[in-house]
Structure 1
């Protein structure tokens, strides 16, 4: 079984939280505010945390005040099974969000295809690939994922059809 770790973060304000999310966003899934589950090794996570601390020190030298605390908890298989329902719930929320975004994008794409819609399709595609990766990492399969995959196929077909016309 894959090894997972919880990264628990406390920040005193939104600016510090944004910094933490930017540095850690691609190594885990935030399952609730300030709590992320990651599949990366502890030393990887600690390296990212150190880069957050380094950047905070630079910011604080300029007079900024803020707090940052963290904990990395490596999960046993039993602990992961206890946390897994939160992961499944979070992925369902992400699936619904991407479905809504993709359906709206498909409507706009069918009415016109311009540079803005092309950029949005690229954004959708990146989010879709990340979502598929997360589903695979956490071994979560459900009907919402199938709907997202169908929508992504439909968007790709429409994008390619429209792209060839222009």
Structure 2
């Protein structure tokens, strides 16, 4: 696994890189650190793409800051980051739980087209999150609550259709 450390004044850097790597292939453990199991070459391509984006966005606005480090993690080093990984997954679980709950609470008032769009996004996010949980072998009570609520939402959708 690789640890990517990023230092930049471009505030969308992390989300850009996560999108480029794929939500199911990387986890942001802090605002400037990502863990991924993609190949070093694909991570470097993603970082070069990010660098080009930063230069095009920030040029003319002043100084551009962008530096990064790629660190190959040993099993011991990965184990040392376990608490941070768990905390990041709990945060994502809670965000996803709120999104599921929001859709569930609006189910009767939402148009079919809007519901289809939101469910497509939610299913992608949920599946990516479950892949992350499986990759890191982390399950928490928040994860269980989120899975149960997603199951309940899918049952409600089945009854609605």
**Shorter-chain TM-score tier:** 0.7 to 0.9
Structure-2 residue corresponding to 1:12 = 9
Structure-2 residue corresponding to 1:51 = 49
Residue 91 of structure 1: how far off its partner (Å):
0.5
TM-score under structure 1 length normalisation: 0.83
Q: What is the distance in 1 between the residues matched to 2:48 and 2:5?
A: 14
Q: 1:121 aligns with which of 112, 119, 122?
A: 119
Distance 1:87 1:17, change over 3 A: closer
> What is the RMSD of the two structures over their aligned residues, measured on CA atoms?
2.1
Q: What is the distance in 2 between the residues matched to 1:31 and 1:57?
A: 25
Q: What is the distance in 1 between the residues matched to 2:98 and 2:16?
A: 27
TM-score under structure 2 length normalisation: 0.86
Deviations 1:129-154 (A, max 9, x none): 11101101111122221221111111
Q: What is the distance in 2 between the residues matched to 1:45 and 1:156?
A: 35
Number of corresponding residues: 158
Q: Do 1:7 and 1:36's aligned partners in 2 also have CA atoms closer than 8 Å?
A: yes
Distance 1:52 1:86, change over 3 A: same
Q: What is the distance in 1 between the residues matched to 2:118 and 2:15?
A: 22
Long gaps (5+) in structure 2:
none
Distance 1:37 1:101, change over 3 A: same
Which runs of structure 2 are paired with 1:136-147 in the superposition (5 Å)?
A: 136-147=134-145
Structure-2 residue corresponding to 1:98 = 96
Q: What is the distance in 1 between the residues matched to 2:32 and 2:139?
A: 25
Which stretch shows the higher mean deviation, 41-50 or 82-91?
A: 41-50
Bigger Rg over Cα: 1
Long gaps (5+) in structure 1:
none
Shift >6 Å, 4+ stretches:
none
